[in-house]
Amino acid sequence: MGREFASVGVVGLGTMGAGIVEVFARNGVAVTAVEVTDAALHRGEGILRGSVDRAVRKGKLAEEDRDALLGRVTFAVGLDALHAADLVVEAVPEQLDLKQRIFAELDRVCKPEAILATNTSSLSVTEISVATGRPNQVIGMHFFNPAPVMKLVEVVRTVVTAEDVVTDIEALCGRLGKVDVTISDRAGFIANALLFGYLNQAVSMLESRYATREDIDAAMRLGCGLPMGPLALMDLIGLDTAYEILDTMYRRGGRDRRHAPVPLIKQMVTAGLLGRKSGRGFYTYEKPGSPVVVADEATPRSDAEAAAAARGVAKVGVIGSGTMATGIIEVFARAGLEVVSVTRGAEQSGRTCEALKTSLNKGVVRGKLTEAERDAALGRVTWSATIEHLADVDLVIEAVVEELSVKKALFASLDEICKPGVVLATTTSSLPVIELAMATERPADVVGLHFFNPAPVMGLVEVVRTIRTSEATVATATAVCRALAKHPVVCADRSGFVVNALLFPYLNDAVKMVEASYSTADDIDNAMKLGCGYPMGPFELLDVVGLDVSLAIQRELYLELREPGFAPAPLLEHLVTAGYLGRKVGRGFRDYSKR
């Protein structure tokens, strides 16, 4: 029989500690909540009461259940109050010496059979455990914020943690309604090791003025479906906390440069710009602790100001016959613009036309447009196999195969055919836009318009400016996106743009975790979905995108940026070589042939 854990202690009543207290008390466990001073204890009690009162107001907790929950909690100053606890969970700030002192004292105070757990998100559980005389009874229980809501708990075992301790903590997680992922003691564990490299890279983009804070955050929310953009998430976590986690991961994790905190983070921490809790971080907030963002000196100018320099666009040419080209045609036609579709021949035009009709008919069936709107959209499209029919359009978008030589030849032809002032756009997701621009005599008019698949559904478009793109061209491109009810984000011409440059290194890091046998694809997917709120785990996403596509993008990033951490994981290369390309072939990281 495993331990019952009738009594639990929690040390530290900040946001996380108070949340952990609530998790235990909600599930019928008596909790002793401990702080170092009366003032800190009072603040912690206020955090807990505020949380459960909000749950009552939202109808998620009955008043009598709230009262019963609070009745299970005993508040105390000093660790001596934990002498009878079966389990103690430490949730104090991420400082190794502080945690070691607390664990040494807990070892003295607690009964011999008690389990001691740390909620550290980045420090070595092993180094914490050796401060006690019972390292075999020390384990990591890494809850995620907000603890009462987030389902994941990373259970971190050291090389000496007893097997029955691991088993009993796993069972306890189930009793608490949590999903546990058991892993060994490594810097960042699963979620933070994958998350903070991505966050640090996003800060680097902002520091180099590659894109604005608003555009970086919008790109990842709209392009990847993430619940928050990376910079807003950093503000929520706290820049001081993020710095400590990154610094610890850098020192403990092999000194990977991508975990070396970007200098801007340290500068902001020094200046007291810690995020929401201080009222100012990457964004400015209504007041300290408030989630309400207010305008500041970095807030971008209004859409009306930006649109003043835009050229008018009434007629659009779309080149290509694939899924992306068809989706872009639909987007423009449904928005009321005249579209000329150019393919390589009548057969391709016919297939593209049928694909467009099928998509529009689905929209009618789903109630997203009327039959009259469908017919009007179809009536706005002219089908052609001749590029010369683009002579009078205002904007051309190419969506042909991702081969530089093919696209350069196409842009050279468009340069000869199109009238002056036409915006020439490429939908490339990885090739350098400047190469296409310099194939023309009008590089100022060339821009990237990277739509996301499926184009009629996805709300994001990356507007990619080269060092030769004019302000009028950028203004026209962004105005067109807004006319399509899309959200444009402007970035410079660099491999991966915003979304792929942040997304694919994270996916590559996940592959390296499996390759190193640190964890399984299932556990990593669960960690990122349940711990970070991602809509898909990295391996689910890799199989959907296609491992061959993912490898090609990762290679482009590595070749351009020359960052050793971006080198494609050998396991990814081996799977592609073996023909395991993901869902499209029935086998990738998972086998779909039997599903």
User: How many degrees, rounded to 5, is the angle at CA 231 between CA 230 and CA 234?
Assistant: 90
Cα 38 versus chain centre, distance: 39
At 199, list the tokens.
Answer: 């966050």
Q: How far is Cα 265 from Cα 118, in angstroms, rounded to an integer?
A: 26
Q: How many CA atoms lie within 13 A of 248 on its CB side?
A: 23
DSSP string covering 329-364 = HHHHHHTT-EEEEE-SSHHHHHHHHHHHHHHHHHHH
Active-site hit among 278, 500, 519, 550: 500
Q: Specify whether the CB–CB gap between 278 and 269 falls below 8 A.
A: no
How far, CA to CA in Å, does 578 sit from each of 344, 548, 571, 588?
Answer: 33, 11, 11, 10
Bridge partners, 134 (sequence order): none
Residues 6+ apart with CB under 8 A from 411: 398, 424, 426, 436, 437, 439, 440, 446
The yes-or-no answer on residue 259 being catalytic is no
208 is catalytic: no
User: Tokens in use for 155?
Assistant: 């259970």
In angstroms, the CA 285 to CA 165 distance is 44
Q: Residue 213 corresponds to which tokens in the numbers above?
A: 């804070």
| DSSP letter, residue 370 | -
Q: Is 429 in a helix, a strand, or coil?
A: coil
* Rounded distance between C-alpha atoms, residue 124 and residue 134, angstroms: 16
Q: What share of the chain is helix, strand, coil (3-state, %, to 5)?
A: 50, 15, 35
Q: Which of 45, 154, 330, 450 is catalytic?
A: 450
User: Residues 115-127, buried b or exposed e (16+ Cβ, 10 A)?
Assistant: bbbbbbbbbbbbb
Given 22, 35, 45, 462, the catalytic residue: 462
Tell me whether residue 500 is one of the annotated catalytic residues: yes
| 563 belongs to the catalytic site | no
DSSP for 30-89, please give it: EEEEEESSHHHHHHHHHHHHHHHHHHHHTTSS-HHHHHHHHHTEEEEESGGGGTT-SEEE
| Closest by Cα among 58, 26, 14 to 177 | 26
Q: Phi and psi of 489, rounded to 5°?
A: -120, 130
Catalytic (active-site) positions = 429, 450, 462, 500
